[in-house]
Structure 1
C-alpha cells in the first residue's frame, strides 16, 4: 500500500472560506482513490479535516525554505491550540518528516508550495533556487520517495507587495515560477522520480480571499493529483475483498454495524462508500469509533447521520424475494451534545418513506416491516429534509433485515401511496414512550419513539407513507409498547394521541395511554 504525504502550506492543510470542502483537496482525493479501489495511506504528523484519513504535513504560512532548515517549533491549529512539535534536531524539517513517516522509494510526496513566498515578495528565481534545495533533500538518496510537484494556482488580483519590480504582478511571479518548475523537471529532476502536475485551478476555483481554494478549486487539485498518481503507476489496485456471508441470524444487510471502516478509537472518519453502503450524492457516511463517550451497540463503530451542510444519508441494495415480508431493525440514539428534536431519521424502502424514527437520549431499537418487490430492493436512511444542514444527526448502529415466514404472492399492478399522520406526545420516565402502528392489520411501524414532552406543551406529528391496502372502511391501530410506573405521577411513562389523519381525513379523538394497550381510530 502506497504511503502518500500531502506536503505544503495552508492549501494542503485545507484552509478555505467554504466549509463544504473538509480537509481541502485531501477529502476528494481519497474518495477518488477509494472509488478506484486503489491502495493508499495518507501520512503526516498533523491531522485536520472531517475525512477518513486526515494525516498530512501542510503548515499554514510556511515558505519553501522553512522545510529545508533545522526546525524546532510547536505547531498550532487554526484556533491556536497546540497540535504537535516538529523538532528535526540538526537535520532539516523535510528529512525529519519523511523519516517519521517511514517513507520508502515506493511512496509519494505531494508538494504544493510557494504561495507564501510570493506573498512575502520573493522573486521566481529565489523560489526556484529554494525548490531545488528542497527536491535535492528529498530525492538525493537511493531510498528516497517519489515526488509529485504541483504548479501554483493564480491569485485574484495583485494583492501583495511586488517582488522588487513594480512592473511585475503577483501572477507574473507565479507564471515564471511554474514555467521554471517545468524546466527543472524536464532537465533533470524527472529522471530522479519527480513528476510535474498542473493544478488546473483558475480564479473561479478561489475562495473570497483570492488565495485559498474553494470547494471547486480543491476538487480540481484532487483530480489532478489522482490522474497523475494513476498515470505514473504510483498507486496500485487493491484486491477485491469478498463480501462477508450473511450472519447466522439471516441478516440480508452487509456490514450492518460498519466494522469494515478503518477508524481509530475515539476518532471519526467520513467515507463516500463502505462495504455494502453508499452515501447519497454530495454527502458522506460519517463513522464514529467509541467517540464523544458513546459506545457502539455492536462492535466498535457506529454512524452519525448528518455529516455536513446537505441532506445526508446512505443506502444499500438488497436482493429480497418479491412479496416476502421482512423485519427491518436498527439501533439509534441522539447525539449527546445536540438537541434531540433535530435528529429525526427517515426510513425509505424502494423510494417510499415507511417511517420516521425519533431517537431518544439513550440507545433504543427501531423496527418496521417491509415487503420485497421484483428485482433489487433499496433501503435508504436519510435526514428529514427540514432538519438537514446543521452538521449534527442521530447516531445509528446494528442494521438488520430478516425474512418473516413464507413469501406472500407478489403484488399486482402499481402500488398507490397513502399518507398517515399521527400527532402524539408523552411523559418520559427512564426512557421515552414508544408506539406501534398498523392499518387494517398491516404493520406500518413496529416501534416509533416519542420525545415530545407533554408537560412542556410539545407535540410531534409523525408522517408515514406507503400502500396501506385501504378499502374504504379502514381502522388505524396504535399500541403503547413500553409503559412504566413507579408509584407517583413524576415516575410514570405515558403516551398521548391528539389526532390521526389518514389521506387528509381527520379523526380528532384524543386518547391517553397510561398502560400498555391498543386503541383504534376508524375511517
Structure 2
C-alpha cells in the first residue's frame, strides 16, 4: 500500500531527524582533547600559568580538555587540572638524547603538546642549533605517538639570572632560531605553532629571580598561551 505524506508531515519528519542527530554531533564536537604541557621548572614547579590557562579556558566555555602528564599538579590557590611534564632542571637536549619523551607520550597519549623548553639549555650555553636539533627529535617522537599531533612551541621568556650575564642574549638567539626551525618542521597534518612568550615579558616585574615567573608573570604567560591553545582545541578533529 502506498502512503502519501503531506509537505507539512515531511517537514516534521525532517525536523525530528535533525533533532535526533544533534546530540551525537554535539558529543563529537565536544570530544575530550588531551593536552600535555612539556617543559622544565617554568612549566612544572609549580608552573601556575597552567592553572590560570586552564581557568581561562573554562571561563571561555572550553571545557572539553584533559591536561595530561606523569607529574601531578602543584598548589596554585584554586583547584585546576594540573597534570604536566614540567621537569625542573631538565634540558631539551637531554630529554631528546635520553629518549625520555616516548614513555611520557605512551602513558598520556596527548592530542596537543604545548612546549616551553630551552631555558636550562641556554643556561648551560648549548647553542641554538643543538637545541633545535633536539626539538626536531622531540617533534618526531610526538608525531610517532600521534600523526596529527598539534604542537605549540614557545619562544621562551627572557631570563636575567644573577650568575649568567650572557643568558639574555642567548635567549634572543634561541628564539630567533625557533621561528626558522618551526617553519621548516611544520606539516599540514601536524602543525607547529610558534607562541611568542618573550615579547612583553619583563624579568624585573614578572619574575622573582630573573628566570621563574611570579604571579604577574604566570598571568602574562596564561594570556599568551590562551588564544593559540583555544584555536588548536577548536580546530582539532578527534
Which residue is equivalent to 1:273? none
CA distance in 1 between counterparts of 2:194 and 2:73 reads 26
Please tell me whether the aligned partners of residues 113 and 151 of structure 2 are also in contact (alpha carbons under 8 angstroms). yes
- Greater relative contact order (Cα < 8 A, sep 6+): 2
Which residue is equivalent to 2:133? 129
CA distance in 1 between counterparts of 2:70 and 2:164 reads 30
CA distance in 1 between counterparts of 2:145 and 2:45 reads 30
After superposition, the C-alpha distances for 1:159-211 in whole angstroms (9 at most, x for unaligned) are: 327xxxxxxx2111111111111111223325431111011422245322111
CA distance in 2 between counterparts of 1:157 and 1:99 reads 35
Among 71, 96, 101, the alignment partner of 1:46 is 71
CA distance in 2 between counterparts of 1:158 and 1:127 reads 23
Report the TM-score, using the length of structure 2 for normalisation: 0.75
* Structure 1 position 32 matched with structure 2 position 29: no
Which residue is equivalent to 1:213? 213
- Which structure's CA Rg is the greater one? 1
Q: For residue 30 of structure 1, report the CA deviation from its aligned partner.
A: 0.7
CA distance in 1 between counterparts of 2:115 and 2:106 reads 16
Which residue is equivalent to 1:189? 186
Which residue is equivalent to 2:18? none
Q: For residue 59 of structure 1, report the CA deviation from its aligned partner.
A: 0.5
Q: For residue 141 of structure 1, report the CA deviation from its aligned partner.
A: 6.4
Aligned residue for 2:66, secondary structure, equals strand
Aligned residue for 2:35, secondary structure, equals strand
Aligned residue for 1:47, secondary structure, equals coil
Distance 1:212 1:69, change over 3 A: same
Which residue is equivalent to 1:2? 33
Among 179, 186, 193, the alignment partner of 2:176 is 179
CA distance in 1 between counterparts of 2:120 and 2:196 reads 19
Aligned residue for 2:84, secondary structure, equals strand
After superposition, the C-alpha distances for 1:291-328 in whole angstroms (9 at most, x for unaligned) are: xxxxxxxxxxxxxxxxxxxxxxxxxxxxxxxxxxxxxx
Please tell me whether the aligned partners of residues 146 and 194 of structure 1 are also in contact (alpha carbons under 8 angstroms). yes
- Structure ranking higher in strand proportion: 1
Q: Which stretches in structure 2 are left out of the alignment for 5+ residues?
A: 1-31
After superposition, the C-alpha distances for 1:350-400 in whole angstroms (9 at most, x for unaligned) are: xxxxxxxxxxxxxxxxxxxxxxxxxxxxxxxxxxxxxxxxxxxxxxxxxxx
How big is the alpha-carbon RMSD for the aligned residues of Structure 1 and Structure 2?
2.2
Which residue is equivalent to 2:228? 228
- Structure ranking higher in helix proportion: 2
Q: Which stretches in structure 1 are left out of the alignment for 5+ residues?
A: 16-22, 71-91, 162-168, 237-523
Distance 1:141 1:133, change over 3 A: same
Which residue is equivalent to 1:58? 86
Aligned pair count? 198
- After TM superposition, the structure 1 = structure 2 runs for residues 60-75 of structure 1, keeping only pairs within 5 Å, are 60-70=88-98
* Structure 1 position 95 matched with structure 2 position 83: no
Please tell me whether the aligned partners of residues 151 and 197 of structure 1 are also in contact (alpha carbons under 8 angstroms). yes
